[in-house]
Amino acid sequence: IQMSQSPSTLSAFVGDRVTITCRASQNINNWLAWYQHKPGKAPKLLISRASILESGVPSRFSGSASGTEFTLTISGLQPDDFGTYYCQQYNSYSPMYTFGQGTKLEI
């Protein structure tokens, strides 16, 4: 399964609403996660099953799905939201998974 993520880079201002899109090459039944990755740190899980916000993640982050297209939205961008965002396809039957190419968000 291939994951196609866009855009590759994104510049926005504090307070903006930004959207990142991820498309799967086939139906993945919403087995989709979103991560935030900052330089020198471990990736942080934000969302699982396309739209379930992880505990402790600010509510300005949200995820949605429409068929094989998935969207991460950040509403009210904060300075700490810089970094690279990755989508990841996983599933219920195999330990193998695939990441999207990443979206670098510059504030």
Partner 1 sequence: QLQLQESGPGVVKPSETLSLTCSVSGDSIATSLRYWAWIRQSPGKGLEWIGTIFSTGKTYYTPSLGSRITISVDKSKNHFALKLNSVTAADTAVYYCATRPRVDVPVALWGQGTLVAVSS
Q: Minimum distance between the CB of residue 18 and partner 1, rounded to whole angstroms? A: 19
Q: What's the rounded Cα separation, in Å, for the pair 10 and 54? A: 24
Q: Return d(Cα 32, Cα 70) in angstroms, integer.
A: 8
Question: For residue 76, what are its two tokens?
Answer: 């009210």
- The closest alpha carbon to 48, from 66, 35, 67, belongs to 35
Choose which of 33, 72, 74, 105 interacts with partner 1 (CB under 8 A).
33
User: Is 51 one of the binding residues for partner 1 (CB under 8 A)?
Assistant: no
**Nearest approach, Cβ of residue 101 and partner 1 (Å):** 5
Q: What residues from 54 to 93 belong to the interface with partner 1 (CB under 8 A)?
A: 54, 84, 86, 88, 90-93
